[in-house]
Structure 1
Amino acid sequence: MTPVQVAFRDECTQLATVLRTLGDADLDRPTGCPPWTVRELLAHVRTGVGRLTGMLAAPAPPRAEVDAAGYFGAAKFTPSVDADRVAGARREAAVLPDRDALVADFERAWRATDAAVRAQPPGRLVRTRHGDAMTLADFLVTRVVEVGVHGLDLAAALGRTPWLTPTAAEVVAGLLTGGREVPSELGWDRSTLVGRLTGRSPLTGPEQAVLVAAGFRRLSFAG
């Protein structure tokens, strides 16, 4: 498997492991992605990891038009798109009444995606629900971002130590930095970098200045 495939598998496996430790009351906790509860945020993540099965069943576009960083453009997070995303997660969460149903649904979704990805030839292209034509490899990076970054949101909501796996942290950090080294004066590991650059942890003024000087850009992420 490629490093991105390994990261996807590792992060999904870790999230599923955490889900099995939750009580049903945990599912109704608020999150830092309002108005979603833990249950609703998990439904959103499950939808995100499951998108590729349908995309891979559709005809491939003729050429890639955006990369993984380009996928996270601000135009995708308009009020109407965000409203649809929020409502969709709430609808899906409503039909998953308890933890066991959530775990089973998430397991089915990510494992189906993993199997579908491994069955594809090198260089496979896909078209996203937003109309973007991308390489499968780049879109899978966005799925690692989805599970990894929302994992930070879930850990905060649940009062847990963040569980971002090393392989996923490497993939997400590579996207955020464009593969460049993190300035040593920041003293950040990859997990801290991901939290800072996705707005999950605050930046100080000096940290912002270092990031600007290094040429790092903040990508647009939905909640």
Structure 2
Amino acid sequence: MDHFSLAWTALRTAVAALDDEDYERPSGCAGWLVRDLVCHLVIDAQDVLITLVTPADTEPTADATSYWRPAAAPPSGDDPLAALIPRLAAAYGDPRLLAFHLDDVGSAAGRAAVLADPAARVGTQDMVLTTADYLTAYVLEWTLHHLDLIVDLPSAAGPPAATLAASRTALERIAGAPFPASFSDRDVLLIGTGRRPASAAQRAALGGLDARLPLILG
């Protein structure tokens, strides 16, 4: 849960540091500008708030690893919510309004996470998880989106080393195998999720794991 707060604070700080023109840059999410990604983060923050106040009284059906169900193919863009994001982001007009909304809702989500009982059970997406497992799963979400945010901003601050390492561990658990030790944590996340192609040498180092990639996380 500490990693959740660290990853979320770093991501929101990176958004707060954006200049207005940065919102029109491409993000690491195919087809989305930075402004679209930031709008998605607002919805993610709302989801966190909703889930933390949606108690469940049954045994957990998932944990921080099984929460992630890799898709067979990249998103086509036909999903109604995904298609809504660019239109909603554009409707803000002034990017500072979008940044304000993220700071407002995002701060609330961060506070709710700190106050949550780690052992409590919550329901989301037809799953029941402990709060600790739910927030742990989101460390990977925040870290990947932090990398998406700065893909065209080379001077921007990246995710903290601790959350990169935690996210690598999470992705290796989802993959069911470790990535080569020669891969940096950032390489693991970008290559493992299909955000960047592996070089010939990296593919050779991956061995049989290469056939299982990319892990397309929704």
Q: TM-score, normalised by structure 1?
A: 0.79
Report how far residue 133 of structure 1 moved.
1.7
Q: Distance in 2 between matches of 1:167 and 1:42?
A: 23
Q: Distance in 2 between matches of 1:27 and 1:195?
A: 21
Q: Distance in 1 between matches of 2:87 and 2:136?
A: 26
CA 1:20/1:116 → structure 2, altered by over 3 Å: closer, same or farther? closer
Give CA-to-partner distance per residue, 1:147-192, whole Å, 9 cap, x none: 21121122113344560211211221110122976533xx222222
Is the CA contact (8 Å cut-off) linking 1:20 and 1:103 kept in structure 2? Answer: yes
Is the CA contact (8 Å cut-off) linking 2:117 and 2:131 kept in structure 1? Answer: no
Q: Which runs of 5+ in 2 are unaligned?
A: none
Is the CA contact (8 Å cut-off) linking 1:26 and 1:38 kept in structure 2? Answer: yes
Q: TM-score, normalised by structure 2?
A: 0.81
Task: Determine whether 1:164 maps to 2:156.
Answer: no
Match 1:35 to one of 8, 31, 34: 31
Task: Determine whether 1:12 maps to 2:8.
Answer: yes
More helix by share: 1
SS in 2 for 1:202: coil
Q: Distance in 1 between matches of 2:211 and 2:37?
A: 28
Q: Which runs of 5+ in 1 are unaligned?
A: none
Give 2:143's aligned residue. Answer: 148
Fraction of identical pairs, as percent = 27
Give 1:121's aligned residue. Answer: 117
Match 1:53 to one of 49, 53, 56: 49
Report how far residue 38 of structure 1 moved.
1.0
- Equivalenced residues, count: 215
Match 1:183 to one of 180, 183, 188: 180
Q: Distance in 2 between matches of 1:159 and 1:152?
A: 11
Moved more, 81-90 or 162-171: 81-90
Task: Determine whether 1:202 maps to 2:171.
Answer: no
Q: Could you tell me which amino acid in structure 2 is paired with residue 192 of structure 1?
A: D
SS in 2 for 1:73: coil
CA RMSD of aligned residues (A): 3.0
CA 1:109/1:144 → structure 2, altered by over 3 Å: closer, same or farther? farther
Q: Could you tell me which amino acid in structure 2 is paired with residue 138 of structure 1?
A: D
Is the CA contact (8 Å cut-off) linking 1:27 and 1:37 kept in structure 2? Answer: yes
CA 1:71/1:112 → structure 2, altered by over 3 Å: closer, same or farther? same
Give CA-to-partner distance per residue, 1:75-125, whole Å, 9 cap, x none: 597868961231332344244333332222222223212222232323212
